[in-house]
Structure 1
Amino acid sequence: MTRAERAETKADEVECRAGDLRAELDRAHQDADQARVAYQEQQKTSDKYLAELEKARDAAAEVVAKNRQLDADLAGAVACQEGIGRELEAGRAELLEAKQQASALREEVARLNGATATYKEMLERFEVAAKAATRARKQPKTEG
Structure 2
Amino acid sequence: MERKQFLKSLGAGAAFAITFPCLGGCGKDDGIDGNLVDPPTGIDFTVDLNSAEAANLENNGGFILKNLVVVVKNLEGEFVAATQVCSHQNYDQVRFVNQNGGIFFCDVHGSRFDQTGAPLNTIPNSVAKPLKIYNTELNGSILRVFE
Structure whose residues are more often strand by fraction? 2
If you compute each CA radius of gyration, which structure gives the higher value, 1 or 2? Answer: 1
TM-score range, shorter chain: under 0.3
Structure whose residues are more often helix by fraction? 1
Work out which structure has the larger RCO, using CA pairs closer than 8 Å and 6 or more positions apart in sequence.
Answer: 2
Normalised TM-score (structure 2): 0.27
Normalised TM-score (structure 1): 0.28
